[in-house]
Structure 1
């Protein structure tokens, strides 16, 4: 029950930040954005003390650890893969265009006799 209250309070703080953005419509944009950021920060801080927040923090830490294990492709590999994708798209576009024109010719000229 306490976790639900913490989560509800976090949502209320976030909503208060957004409401503050609109209530401060006469103020400079910096203050309005700061209102949203403070509401978001306070909501995240409160939510982090709930069970779901603790699980999310653990998940985020594990995700960062896994990202560090990834072997990212080099620039050359990325450019080669991108080139292959573009070439495949062009080949498929030509194939689909030829298929469309062939079916159009068969249906309209041969079967229906429309010219």
Structure 2
């Protein structure tokens, strides 16, 4: 008999911390434009709200799932990418340019043909 396979539960972060970060950013922006204070104090309030929102977003995500870990893992994956050589890049670039040119000429021809057919032949309104 086969025994049942145990699966791990995927831990999902609480969206409450994302909302708190958004509220802190909006509060800082509102205070920046809403208060009639010294310009340095307004900028200080705005910077503190950005730092508080970033701290909430980066470091208070529950269960270990946060943006910092995502960025770190993404950076590791990016280092594994094998980038094409300059020659290959130039060849693919010219192929794309040629394809775009051919496709644009084709679409121009179809558009002009349909315009001639509709306005010139069917409606009788010569261009």
- TM norm structure 2: 0.60
By how many angstroms is 1:91 displaced? 0.7
Partner of 1:27: 39
The RMSD of aligned alpha carbons is: 3.2
Partner of 1:77: 88
Q: Where do 4+ consecutive residues of structure 1 move more than 6 Å? A: none
Cα gap change, 1:80/1:11 in structure 2, threshold over 3 Å: closer, same or farther?
A: same
- TM norm structure 1: 0.65
Partner of 2:52: 42
Gaps of 5+ in 1: none
Instruction: Say whether 1:15 aligns with 2:26.
Output: yes
Aligned residues, how many? 110
Matched residues in 2 for 1:74 and 1:88: separation?
A: 21
Higher deviation after alignment, 92-101 or 12-21: 12-21
By how many angstroms is 1:14 displaced? 2.2
SS of 2:49's equivalent in the other structure is: helix
By how many angstroms is 1:20 displaced? 3.2
By how many angstroms is 1:87 displaced? 1.6
By how many angstroms is 1:67 displaced? 0.9
Cα gap change, 1:101/1:58 in structure 2, threshold over 3 Å: closer, same or farther?
A: same
Cα gap change, 1:106/1:74 in structure 2, threshold over 3 Å: closer, same or farther?
A: same
Partner of 1:101: 112
